[in-house]
Amino acid sequence: MTNRLRGILAPVVTPFDADLKPDARRFVQHCQWLVSQNAGLAFFGTNSEANSLSVNERIALLEALVSSGIDPAKMMPGTGCCALTDSVELTRRAVDAGCAGVLMLPPFFYKAVSEDGLFRSYSEIIQRVGNSRLRIYLYHIPPVAQVSISAGLIERLLKAYPGTVAGIKDSSGDWNNTEMLLKCFQSESFDVFCGSEVFLLQNMRGGGAGSITATGNVNPAMIHDLFVNWQQDDADEKQAKITGIRRAFEVIPLIASMKSVIAWKRNDPQWAEVRPPLMSAPKDKAEQLRGKLDEMGFQMQF
């Protein structure tokens, strides 16, 4: 296979207008900037507030993005919903739009579901979409979804749908799990992405494909630089620096903190908005964050 998505992808944050509607203009502009910084577009992820959007709102953003002229080969939208029919609809649209892949949450409402049930879910989606161009990246994020992608499930899916099941994003926050995934599954047709750039160097050293990471939204160039130069002598130093920036953002819940910084750097306060149940960054904390980032020499070049 050629043209596989590798490297750094950002789960693109979704801008809202004053009425809390998704703002396609700001969204496309942010995506264009990310691409200019060598980041791929994993829009409709956790940090995109994707599950706070209706299916129709997601379709409208996808269409706006595709018609903006950005190459769909850089796109890996999230399409995993609680409802089978929603996942099928979004996945079908993504494949038809030519997206390189989709990042797929398991259905996350019911807890303690069986491996059989999760296999059945992915299986139904793959069969209903019925397109050989489909590439699914499994999305393992137990702290949020509370429903996990186990090694046993991956094994069954790879056996049933080789080629289609194309990789995983590991947002467990547990390096031991990523290491297991690299050892057991990383191959030319199955890519392991770490879910935070904090693990990027370790993931590259273990043979991984890169990182799909929140702060790819604000710090893509530095993270991409480490992705390209991970075999150089100064890689550990670079890792420490990007980790430091990540930690600075984490003093506020990440979605709110990244949006507040984009609002600041773009001089566009509307960017700070989030949809409920989230809350935008408190003024004092956002100000502290700006001070801290200035101290660190953090920049976003538009």
Q: Least distance in Å: CB of 2 to a second copy?
A: 33
Buried b (16+ CB within 10 A) or exposed e, 105-139: bbbbeeeebeeeebeebbeebbeebeeeebbbbbb
- Looking at beta carbons only, is 119 or 175 nearer to a second copy? 119
DSSP state of 106: P
The 3 state secondary structure assigned to 9-53 is EECCCCCECCCCCECHHHHHHHHHHHHHCCCEECCCCHHHCHHHC
Give, in order, the Cα–Cα distances in Å from 203 to each of 7, 73, 126, 248: 11, 23, 28, 22
Q: Smallest distance from the beta carbon of 49 to a second copy, in angstroms? A: 9
Nearer to a second copy, 146 or 229 (CB): 146
**Which residue, 37 or 51, is less far from a second copy as judged by CB?**
51
Based on CB atoms, which residue is closest to a second copy, 93 or 224? 93
Closer Cβ to a second copy, 83 or 240, answer by number: 83
| Nearest distance in Å: CB 275, a second copy | 6
- CB 219 to a second copy: min, Å: 23
Q: How far is CA 137 from CA 17, 45, 68, 110, 301, in A?
A: 31, 12, 24, 21, 30
Nearer to a second copy, 46 or 186 (CB): 46
Task: With CA atoms as reference, report the closest residue to 66 among 81, 77, 79, 53.
Answer: 77
Site residues, a second copy (CB under 8 A) = 20, 46, 51-55, 57, 82-86, 89, 106-111, 113-114, 116-118, 120-121, 123-124, 143-147, 275-279
The least CB distance from residue 160 to a second copy, in Å, is: 14
Q: Is 173 within 8 Å of 196 (Cβ atoms)?
A: yes
State the minimum distance, in angstroms, from the CB of residue 296 to a second copy: 27
